[in-house]
Each structure stands twice: as structure tokens, then as C-alpha cells.
């Protein structure tokens, strides 16, 4: 029997990248051939999808995470009645069985009590979804790189394990269910999950733009961070047809064969100190990319503006003066240190800002 035809975009993207062991950076993805600006480098379906918070169950399809119609035409889950689906196809696909069980038969009150705040709900929703995976998929999640130990104040893994045990019937839990396995899964979530964001709207403040769901993409998780990324990931959660939760990674400019392909793990206009703090706390390393080497030499008062102001100044002034003055003062007289910032901010952020970032 003939196999189904492969998506030509995904097939071309699959040939654009290869896995490589990079000194001091672990495994990463490099360009397997010369890549042109705007080219799709990666198009990958999610291994695991889960809602960002209990509140999102009322706003998005529990299977594909498209926005639900405002006229209440969505079909509620026949089992839990708490989640809803945008179409019969999504209803047939269902949503994670442990999450559905936790939400059904008034268990949703227990789930809300176990995770009253969204910051606590996210890891619990992840665990209920991960423990619902078939064994091969669960092992694939466990094969991913682990994040460093959680920062102080993070939800305790033992408490989250106890919450899962209280909400899920024992016969539905996988073999090997244990506190150690739960802790290992949480490490994978922190280091590898991507946020599926609300569509970017220029009039919405950055702090109000939020994730509607989170996803794990095994190949995309190999993308390392750079504060001057040469690629960016995009979300198309409301587009019609299949694959709306696939991650799409595009080249921001031409990339030669053999060059590492990197994304930014957060909005590219963050200040140096904020970037370093986030990377150290969440990912366990300090960044020494070209941009950070330049900005680490800036005076403290050169970095006092918030990221939005700095980004707007550099974008609106088309590379004239603005942030470039600070780099010239701290760099060589010939302005060589301007190049990474001028190239990236003028060509990339001077147009519509790419807001995609890995999460958390």
C-alpha cells in the first residue's frame, strides 16, 4: 500500500538542518546546506500538547487549541463536560485521558484546589498530559535534555506528584509512576516546552500577550539560544486545516552551510541583565554571544531603559544614532562592535517584531 504523500514544505525543511555536537554547547542544529532569508527550516508536529491554565479550557479547543467560537457552538467533552472541542474531528481525537478524568465527575473542583494559581496549574496540567502519553511517546519526552534544578520558590515536585496521584485513578497511571519519574518529567518540561502564543497584535502590550497552550517538539528542542538569533519560531494556532499547532522555524537572514541555527528563548528586545538572569535561572548558563559581549561593556545607565523603549528607538530611527551611540562609546572607534546590533535590529526588529520565544 502506498504511503501518504509527505508535506513538501516539511520535507524541504527536514533537509535544511542536521544535528551536531557543538563544543561547549552540547547538541544543536546546524544548516545542512545554504539557507535563504525567510526559508522554512523546520516544521514539526507536537509530541505533547497541554493547556496553559484551567481558564483556557473555556476559550480554546481541548484538542487543537484553536479559539472557540463566541456563540457557544463548541461541543463539550462527553466525559468531563469541562473541556470543549471546535469540531467533530477534534472531539474524536479527544484530549489527555488523565486530564479528562481529573476534570470529570466534579473532580475539577479538586483540580482547582490542588492548583489554585496559574503558576501551579501549568506543571500539574503538564504532568496529567504527559502521563497520558503512550509509552513510546513518554520515553521520547524523557530522552530530551533536562533543565537545571528549579529556582527557589518553584512548586515542589513531591507536592505535584501527590496531586497527580490524588487526581488520577491508579489503573490509568503508567508503569513506573513514581516521585523520581515525576521530577524527571518536570525537568524536561522546564527545558523543552514551547509556548503557543496568542496571535501577535501590535496594540496589545507585551506583558498582556499570553500563551494559550504549551507544546514539546523533540527536534525543535535542540535549537540553542542566541541573543542575536538567525532564526525565529512562529505560531499559527488559528489557521485552518491540520497542523495548526506545528512549530514553524524560519531563517531571519541567509545562513551558510555548517552555521549553527539559533533562536532566542525570549523576546529579543530584553535588556542584557534581564537576559542573563533568565538564562542562568531557567537554563543554567550565561550567554557569551556577540551581542552580550558588546552589551556587557555598557555603562549601567546605558541599559536603564526597558527593552521596549530600546527596541523602538533602534527600529524607528532606522539605525541612526539611538542605541548605536552607546556601542560606539564602549567599543572601538571604527564602530566594528555596532555590526551585530545594527544588522539584527535594523533588518529584523525594524519591521514587525518576531515575538516567538521558547518557554518557560
Mind listing the pLDDT tens digit for each residue in 239-262? Answer: 998 999 999 999 999 999 999 999
On whether residue 4 sits in a domain, the answer given is no
What CATH code is carried by the domain that includes residue 30? Answer: 2.170.270.10
Q: Quick one: pLDDT at residue 354?
A: 47
Q: Which residues form the domain of 339?
A: 272-349
Please indicate, yes or no, whether residues 291 and 256 belong to a single structural domain of this protein.
no
On whether residue 358 sits in a domain, the answer given is no
User: What percent of the chain has pLDDT above 70?
Assistant: 73
Rounded to 5 degrees, φ, ψ at 307 are: -60, -35
On whether residue 297 sits in a domain, the answer given is yes
What's the whole-number average pLDDT of the chain?
80
On whether residue 5 sits in a domain, the answer given is no
Q: What is the pLDDT of residues 134-182, one digit of tens each?
A: 999 999 999 999 888 877 767 789 999 999 999 999 999 999 999 999 9
Q: Quick one: pLDDT at residue 73?
A: 72
State the total domains in the chain: 3
3-state helix, strand, coil in the chain (%, to 5): 40, 15, 45
Please indicate, yes or no, whether residues 90 and 60 belong to a single structural domain of this protein.
yes
CA–CA separation, 334 vs 347, rounded Å? 21
> 232, 250 in Cβ contact below 8 A?
yes
Please indicate, yes or no, whether residues 32 and 141 belong to a single structural domain of this protein.
no
Q: What is the pLDDT of residues 24-37, one digit of tens each?
A: 888 999 999 999 99
On whether residue 329 sits in a domain, the answer given is yes
Please indicate, yes or no, whether residues 334 and 293 belong to a single structural domain of this protein.
yes
CA–CA separation, 63 vs 95, rounded Å? 5
pTM for this predicted structure: 0.79
Element (DSSP H or E) covering residue 212: strand 211-216
On whether residue 211 sits in a domain, the answer given is no
CA–CA separation, 147 vs 257, rounded Å? 29
Please indicate, yes or no, whether residues 109 and 27 belong to a single structural domain of this protein.
no
Please indicate, yes or no, whether residues 139 and 162 belong to a single structural domain of this protein.
yes
Please indicate, yes or no, whether residues 184 and 126 belong to a single structural domain of this protein.
yes
On whether residue 109 sits in a domain, the answer given is yes
Q: What is the pLDDT of residues 203-252, one digit of tens each?
A: 766 666 789 999 999 999 999 999 999 999 999 999 998 999 999 999 99
Please indicate, yes or no, whether residues 167 and 89 belong to a single structural domain of this protein.
yes
pLDDT of 357 higher than 80 = no
Band of pLDDT at residue 43, cut at 50, 70 and 90: very high
Element (DSSP H or E) covering residue 324: helix 323-330
On whether residue 57 sits in a domain, the answer given is yes
Amino acid at each position: 500500500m502506498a504511503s501518504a504523500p509527505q508535506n513538501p514544505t516539511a520535507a524541504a525543511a527536514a533537509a535544511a538542518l542536521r544535528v551536531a555536537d557543538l563544543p561547549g554547547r552540547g547538541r544543536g542544529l546546524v544548516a545542512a546546506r545554504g539557507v535563504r532569508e525567510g526559508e522554512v527550516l523546520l516544521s514539526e508536529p507536537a509530541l505533547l500538547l497541554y493547556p496553559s491554565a484551567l481558564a483556557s479550557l473555556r476559550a480554546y479547543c481541548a484538542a487543537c487549541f484553536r479559539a472557540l467560537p463566541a456563540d457557544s457552538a463548541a461541543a463539550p467533552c462527553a466525559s468531563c463536560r469541562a473541556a470543549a472541542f471546535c469540531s467533530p474531528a477534534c472531539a474524536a481525537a479527544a484530549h489527555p485521558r488523565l486530564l479528562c478524568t481529573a476534570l470529570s465527575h466534579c473532580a475539577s473542583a479538586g483540580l482547582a484546589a490542588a492548583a489554585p494559581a496559574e503558576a501551579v496549574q501549568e506543571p500539574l496540567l503538564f504532568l496529567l498530559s504527559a502521563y497520558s502519553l503512550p509509552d513510546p511517546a513518554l520515553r521520547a519526552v524523557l530522552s530530551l535534555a533536562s533543565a537545571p534544578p528549579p529556582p527557589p520558590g518553584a512548586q515542589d515536585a513531591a507536592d505535584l506528584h501527590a496531586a497527580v496521584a490524588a487526581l488520577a485513578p491508579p489503573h490509568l497511571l503508567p508503569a513506573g509512576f513514581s516521585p523520581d519519574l515525576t521530577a524527571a518529567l518536570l525537568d524536561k518540561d522546564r527545558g523543552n516546552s514551547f509556548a503557543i502564543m496568542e496571535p501577535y497584535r501590535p496594540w496589545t502590550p507585551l506583558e498582556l500577550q499570553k500563551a494559550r497552550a504549551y507544546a514539546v517538539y523533540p527536534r525543535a528542542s535542540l535549537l540553542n539560544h542566541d541573543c542575536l538569533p538567525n532564526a525565529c519560531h512562529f505560531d499559527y494556532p488559528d489557521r485552518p486545516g491540520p497542523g495548526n499547532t506545528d512549530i514553524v522555524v524560519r531563517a531571519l537572514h541567509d545562513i551558510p552551510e555548517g552555521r549553527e541555527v539559533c533562536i532566542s528563548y525570549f523576546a529579543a528586545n530584553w535588556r542584557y541583565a534581564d537576559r542573563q538572569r533568565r538564562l542562568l535561572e531557567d537554563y543554567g548558563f550565561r550567554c557569551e554571544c556577540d551581542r552580550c559581549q558588546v552589551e556587557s561593556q555598557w555603562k549601567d545607565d546605558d541599559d536603564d531603559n526597558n527593552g521596549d523603549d530600546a527596541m523602538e528607538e533602534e527600529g524607528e530611527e532606522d539605525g541612526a544614532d539611538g542605541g548605536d551611540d552607546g556601542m560606539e562609546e564602549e567599543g572601538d572607534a571604527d564602530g566594528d562592535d555596532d555590526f551585530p546590533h545594527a544588522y539584527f535590529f535594523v533588518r529584523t526588529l525594524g519591521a514587525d517584531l518576531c515575538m516567538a520565544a521558547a518557554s518557560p
